[in-house]
Amino acid sequence: MSTIVDDRYQLLAPVGKGATGVVWRAYDLLLERDVALKEIALPPGPEAAERRRKVVREARMAARLSHRGIVTVHNLAEESERLWIVMEFLEALTLHDTLVQAGPLPVDLVAKLGRRLLEALRHAHAGGVVHRDIKPANIMLTGDRVVLADFGFAAFENAATTSMRGTPAFIAPEVLQGRGGTREADMWSFGATLYMAVEGRTPFRTVDSMAALVEALREPPRTPRRAGALEPVLLGLLRKDPAARLSSEQTHAMLMNVRRHSAA
């Protein structure tokens, strides 16, 4: 017998795992459409209230952003000591899965993906929201859409926080020094993601540990081998000093130039 959440959403099958919970494909019995439900179990005891507060914040933060490049949040349900964020369902591969299956992508395609992802990121930043976990696994590719997903670590820009969130290979070096929660840190992660897409490897040799953050803080990124016209964009986004890093406006102009260069 299938599980019904909140007397409305019929769980069909798990489709993935995000930073903070399992994601299910489900069917909205009221509106008769497929949706995605992110399941988040509440811990026992006094920690439950804090976890619930964070989940509600995540849902509200994502729901205030309306852009085709950001996953749409429909509802928030609570049942059986679990919270469920109800989102649009996308038949999509993540950028991570695409790279695993196809290998490094062509420069012109990465530039195109980058422009569309940047549009979504700029929309979030304009709304005062920083994502804090941009990486290939959180980018969904479906049709002509490039969609930024999983706002589980998101925060309002410049909010007081010393917590270090995200995946080491895609975390800006200043986050190691407790200066996260800025759009500049998001831009670094965006650059590391584009680097991975076109090079098929991360900017630094170490990937999944604290050593990756230390390397990002002290060492220059590995010289790109496949990036071509994208190389100045990548290196400009991966500058150690946030003040010297490419802004979203500069990045957009350079990505447009890559487009013209590829079309020539």
**Nearest-angstrom CA–CA distance, 46 and 29:** 34
Residue 62's domain is classified under what CATH number?
3.30.200.20
- Compute the average pLDDT of residues 226-239: 96
Among candidate residues 68, 88, 108, the one where a domain is terminated: 88
Higher model confidence: residue 93 or residue 150? 93
pLDDT of residue 33: 97
Residue 195's domain is classified under what CATH number?
1.10.510.10
- Compute the average pLDDT of residues 226-249: 96
pLDDT of residue 121: 96
Asked if 20 and 58 sit in the same domain, the reply is yes
| Residue 11 in tokens | 């769980």
Where does the pLDDT of residue 155 fall: very low under 50, low under 70, confident under 90, or very high at 90 and above? confident
Asked if 203 and 102 sit in the same domain, the reply is yes
Asked if 103 and 82 sit in the same domain, the reply is no
Query: Residues annotated in the binding site for ATP, as ranges?
Result: 38
Asked if 159 and 137 sit in the same domain, the reply is yes
Q: How many domains are there within the chain?
A: 2
- Compute the average pLDDT of residues 67-74: 93
pLDDT of residue 165: 60
pLDDT of residue 152: 74
- Within 36-94, residue ranges assigned H as helices are 47-63
Asked if 20 and 65 sit in the same domain, the reply is yes
- Would you call 97 a catalytic residue per the annotation? no
Asked if 188 and 61 sit in the same domain, the reply is no
Where does the pLDDT of residue 196 fall: very low under 50, low under 70, confident under 90, or very high at 90 and above? very high
Where does the pLDDT of residue 72 fall: very low under 50, low under 70, confident under 90, or very high at 90 and above? very high
Asked if 78 and 11 sit in the same domain, the reply is yes
Higher model confidence: residue 143 or residue 146? 146
Among candidate residues 88, 111, 143, the one where a domain is terminated: 88
Whether residue 185 contacts residue 165, with contact meaning beta carbons closer than 8 Å, is answered with no
Q: Is the pLDDT of residue 84 over 70?
A: yes
Q: Which among 249, 203, 236, 207 has a CA at the least distance from the CA of 222?
A: 203
| Residue 16 in tokens | 């993935």
Find the catalytic residue in 97, 133, 144, 241: 133
| Residue that has been written with the tokens 């049709």 in this structure | 143
| 19-59 per-position pLDDT tens digit | 667 899 999 999 999 999 999 888 888 888 888 888 888 88
Q: Is the pLDDT of residue 173 over 80?
A: yes
pLDDT over 90 for what percent of the chain? 59
- Compute the average pLDDT of residues 152-178: 72
pLDDT of residue 28: 97
Where does the pLDDT of residue 219 fall: very low under 50, low under 70, confident under 90, or very high at 90 and above? confident
Where does the pLDDT of residue 176 fall: very low under 50, low under 70, confident under 90, or very high at 90 and above? confident
Where does the pLDDT of residue 136 fall: very low under 50, low under 70, confident under 90, or very high at 90 and above? very high
pLDDT of residue 163: 55
Where does the pLDDT of residue 209 fall: very low under 50, low under 70, confident under 90, or very high at 90 and above? low
CA distances from 86 to 77, 92, 118, 162, 256 (A): 8, 17, 25, 29, 35
Q: Provide φ and ψ at 125, rounded to 5°.
A: -65, -40
Asked if 149 and 211 sit in the same domain, the reply is yes
Query: In the predicted model, what is the mean pLDDT of the chain?
Result: 88
Q: Is the pLDDT of residue 203 over 60?
A: yes
**Nearest-angstrom CA–CA distance, 156 and 160:** 9
Q: Whole domain around residue 62: which residue ranges?
A: 4-88
Q: Provide φ and ψ at 234, rounded to 5°.
A: -60, -50
pLDDT of residue 68: 94
Among candidate residues 37, 58, 88, the one where a domain is terminated: 88
Query: Residues annotated in the binding site, as ranges?
Result: 38
